[in-house]
Amino acid sequence: MAVLVGKQAPDFKATAVKGQEFIENFSLSSLKGRYVVLFFYPLDFTFVCPTELHAFQEKLEAFHQRDTELVAVSIDSHFSHLAWLKTPKITGGIQGVEYPIVSDLNKTISRDYDVLVDGMGIAYRGLFLIDKKGIVRHQVVNDLPLGRSVDEALRMVDALRFFENNGEVCPANWRKGEKSMKADQKGLEEYFAK
């Protein structure tokens, strides 16, 4: 699995669905200047996937308050995405999801992010936090049966924003409002002294 952290996020142009609308030539580069949480999921009309897409939707405003856009990607067609968006939550659909869902029918985006499952043609549950300059600052990839923590994705956005704004680093399990530290020996000692 390729490590993309510290590298320019691979750009793409593809058809996306947002609400009930198709967006032709949706590109990652069109979001430059904002933070982006780009996440991959295996397939529309499956089981863990709708729980994740709804969980991200439930926190959409929290991401927006952090100047962060959510973008989902799967190998399904934009027509499949639209049909799934029209399907009620109670029957396994994602009706009500408002952020863009990108169609990676030719699997190039999944390959570029190295989340394509060998021999299956679907993507692992990869998540990439991309900064305002288009650099990947965090990545995590889960196996197919393991759903993600949306709260952890928000925590990572908070940590990145805190570091960029304050120059201090965020220790293990750091949460917004908690003690940070300077990235030197004295800072470490002060952190452990309290």
What kind of fold does domain 13-146 have according to CATH?
A: Glutaredoxin (3.40.30)
Task: Give the residue from 59, 45, 129, 149 showing the smallest Cα distance to 99.
Answer: 59
Residue 160: band (very low, low, confident or very high) from pLDDT cuts 50, 70, 90: very high
Residue 1 has pLDDT above 80, yes or no: no
- The pLDDT assigned to 194 comes to 78
Instruction: Please write the tens of the pLDDT for every residue from 122-147.
Output: 999 999 999 999 999 999 999 999 99
Q: Which of 14, 37, 38, 49 is catalytic?
A: 49
Task: Tell me if residue 49 is catalytic.
Answer: yes
Mean pLDDT value across residues 46-61: 97
Domain positions in the chain = 13-146, 149-194
